[in-house]
Structure 1
Amino acid sequence: MSEPIKVDIWSDIACPWCYIGKRKFEAGSGLFSGAGDDRGVVVEYHSYELSPDTPVDFDGSEIDYLSGHKGIPASQVQPMLERVRGIAGAVGLDYDFDALKHTNTVKAHELLHYAKAHGRQLEMAERLFSAYFVEGRHVGRVADLADLAAEIGLDRDDVVKALEADEYLSDVRTDQSVAVEYGIQGVPFFVIDGRYGVSGAQEAATFAQVLEQVWSEKAEVTA
């Protein structure tokens, strides 16, 4: 049996655990695929907005945002960010919360759907996460998003046209509706083979175990 396992991932570009979860899932799927017998995984990203009321140009730091908009005491924010930074570092990600530019992510989600339509969604997701958490790039404005899209080989002018016309906004809203149907209340959330849900940035071994279980079950059905 060589049919790959489909994994649908609901996430938000502005979610630090989603980028960490991406790395852990990649490690887990690598362990699974490395076991041989043509094991494979196909990934598709889906839209989830953690803070849809965030302005495109938020005036303030990550600490300002979390303390002012999320109600977390400022004295607790810095230690929390340091903890997340440490966990990110353990999977090879160098988060820079001081440079991070908080923004609305709906246009970034539209770009992910555009990239999917052009066969480049996985590269676009990686580029957006890195731009936001590592490089301090703006991921809420059309021009900045078009620059990032061009960096992975997409047509910049066409991206601008699509984003300004909201061509993929309905796809974003469809993803969000499906998330409600699934009962997803936080991200990252992984739906494996349309049957199993895994919530959060689990360890690589956990992802590998779930994938192996699904693979075994599918093999029994086709045996």
Structure 2
Amino acid sequence: MNHPSTLSVEAYFDLICPWCLIGKKHLETAIALLERERPDVAVQVEWRSYPLIPATPPAGLPYRDFYVARLGSPEAVAVRQAQVCAAARDAGLTLALDRIETFPNTLLAHRLVRLARQQAGAETAAALIDELFTRYFLRAENIGDPLVLRKAATKCGITIPDQGDASGHRDLDWLPSLWAPEEPLVRTGLGVPHFVFDGTRSVSGARPPAALLEAMLQALARAKQRATRAAA
């Protein structure tokens, strides 16, 4: 059991999901609010990979064609993108959905996040996730491309073994084998973003910071109740 002054957060995400980017920003805002309200509490966030469409071809798919097929029409895509962009603006983000060309397979990117966590810890992994979100949603880069992943890793200070010549740089098969969580996922059909606070309070979706703060405070209250009962 965590010390009463520590709040654990499990954050399930995929890098192709703009709501996960928005949810990450909202979570960071909520944590800052909690720090002001409860400076005695340390928050530990563990980002957990949850690829939504792992069967996407390695080279990706045409972005617009993918979403037209998924949502049914160009008009439906426009409505959805307007909704996402408005929510992103509320979180202080300007998305470049109109410039994205490739809907990527994110398995290599998730492997890289896992490597970052193993090599340098949770903070570096979170920084890499930010970098990948920025490259995809704000700069319209293809985060399924190993060359893009190499640049992101380098920027975040992650050591990548020398692959030899330039063509070898496209081969990241040395990364940990196909993404696998550290423990089995018992939640089938999980929607992301999905946050679990202290193992007791769950929130799905890109909820506003106030809702996440409320969930964190509820989790802390439950932890206090457990500690009180244990001490009785």
Specify the TM-score bucket, using the shorter chain as the normaliser: 0.7 to 0.9
Percent identity, aligned pairs only, is: 27
Q: Does 1:216 align with 2:221?
A: yes
Q: 1:29-178 counterparts in 2 under 5 A? A: 29-60=31-62, 62-68=63-69, 70-100=70-100, 101-117=102-118, 118-119=120-121, 120-157=124-161, 163-169=172-178, 172-174=179-181, 178=184
Cα shift at 1:210: 1.0
Equivalent residues of 1:128, 1:148 under 8 A apart: yes
Q: CA deviation at 1:166?
A: 3.8
**Structure 2 Cα separation of the partners of residues 78 and 141 of structure 1:** 26
CA 185–84 in structure 1, closer or farther in 2 if over 3 Å, else same: same
Q: Structure 1 residues 59, 185: closer, same or farther in 2, change over 3 A? A: closer
| Partners of 1:96 and 1:136 within 8 A in 2 | yes
Q: Distance in 2 between matches of 1:57 and 1:98?
A: 20
SS of the residue corresponding to residue 191 of structure 2 reads: coil
The SS at the match of 2:37 is coil
Give me the whole-angstrom Cα distance separating, in 1, the residues matched to 2:39 and 2:12. Answer: 28
Which amino acid letter does the alignment assign opposite residue 143 of structure 1?
L
- 1:15 and 2:17 correspond: yes
Classify 1:7/1:187 alpha carbon distance in 2 versus 1 (closer, same or farther; 3 Å): same
Distance 1:168 1:53, change over 3 A: closer
> How many residues in Structure 1 have an aligned counterpart in Structure 2?
217
Partner Cα separation in structure 1 for residue 224 and residue 181 of structure 2: 32
- Kindly name which structure, 1 or 2, has the bigger radius of gyration based on alpha carbons: 2
SS at match of 2:195: strand
CA–CA distance in structure 2, aligned partners of residues 168 and 211 of structure 1: 34
Over 3 Å counting, the alpha-carbon distance change for 1:213 and 1:141 in structure 2 is same
Task: Provide, for residues 113-138 of structure 1, a one-character-per-residue CA deviation record: whole Å limited to 9, x for no partner.
Answer: 01111221111111111111001112
RMSD: 2.3
C-alpha separation in 1, matches of 2:171 and 2:73 = 40
Q: Tell whether 2:179 aligns with 1:197.
A: no
CA contact (8 A) 1:85 1:95 kept: yes
Q: 2:10, 2:45 within 8 Å by CA — same for their partners in 1? A: yes
Q: Deviations over 1:26-77 (max 9, x none)?
A: 11121112113411211111111111222233352x3211113x15212211
- SS of 1:178 mapped into structure 2: coil
Confirm or deny: 8 A CA contact 2:147 2:170 kept in the other structure.
no
